Structure 1
């Protein structure tokens, strides 16, 4: 009877050690939860790096095309996208009237 209690105690002791070790592996500062969180962060940052590299390529292509284009094209973009005007010019703003106001 004493041997059975010792075996049972030893079994519970081993089980408790296993559970404590498992909980430690999951919840410690270098545990599974932190590993998964860092893995997701790495994936997110990798995706952002790829997106930014694509944007860089696009912008470099646009810069190259603007360097090769004639000055009139650059002037057109400056006027249309950035509302720039030449010295001595004036801008005229045309407002559309809605049908209900007529």
Structure 2
């Protein structure tokens, strides 16, 4: 299976879902922190989605749209919680980069 994560698609998705933060000297650090955490959550959710694609479907249990939706919501919530608790460090790295003078 040749699944690749497209960084351009991920970035456009994050930018459309994250609140707009203006880069200026008077940046609100809390809003920036929330935005970077949201970006990390979207990134983690995309990773979960791609990882699930690698699991073969055994066909024993029939899966429907409700199962897919539940799995997607579960991944979204897990990614959000992970990002809020430090995640993989992407939000911290982005904070350092965006607040660098």
TM-score between the two structures when normalised by the length of structure 1? 0.33
Q: Which has the larger radius of gyration?
A: 1
More helix by share: 1
**Relative contact order higher in (CA < 8 Å, ≥ 6 apart):** 2
TM-score between the two structures when normalised by the length of structure 2? 0.33
